[in-house]
Amino acid sequence: MKKHKVPLMIANIGAPQLVPQGEKKPLGIEEARRAMAMVGGDILAIHLNYTQEVVQPEGDRRARGVLAAIKPIAAELPVLAKETGAGISRTVALSLKEAGVKGIDIGGLGGTSFSAVEFYRAQKEGMELKERLGRVFWEWGIPSPIALRLSQVGLPVVATGGVRNGLDAAKAVSLGAAAAGMASQMLKAAEVSAEAVAQELEAVIAEFKAVMFLTGCRSADELARAELVLTGMTMEWATSLGILGEMRHGA
Ligand X SMILES: Cc1cc2nc3c(=O)[nH]c(=O)nc-3n(C[C@H](O)[C@H](O)[C@H](O)COP(=O)(O)O)c2cc1C
Interface contacts to ligand X, rule CB under 6 A: 12, 45, 47, 82, 84-85, 107, 111-112, 160-163, 182-185, 187
Nearer of residues 17 and 84 to ligand X, judged by Cβ = 84
- From the CB of 211, what's the least distance to ligand X, in Å? 18
Nearer of residues 192 and 214 to ligand X, judged by Cβ = 192
Cα gap 130→85, rounded to integer Å: 18
CA 74 to the chain's CA centroid: 18
Cα gap 153→150, rounded to integer Å: 8
The residue number with the shortest CB distance to ligand X is 111
CB crowding 77-107: b at 16 or more within 10 Å, else e: bebbbbbbbbbbbbebbebbbebbbbbbbbb
- From the CB of 89, what's the least distance to ligand X, in Å? 16
- From the CB of 135, what's the least distance to ligand X, in Å? 19
- From the CB of 227, what's the least distance to ligand X, in Å? 27
Nearer of residues 163 and 217 to ligand X, judged by Cβ = 163
Nearer of residues 85 and 134 to ligand X, judged by Cβ = 85
Residues 6+ positions from 69 with CB-CB distance below 8 Å: 15, 18, 19, 26, 28
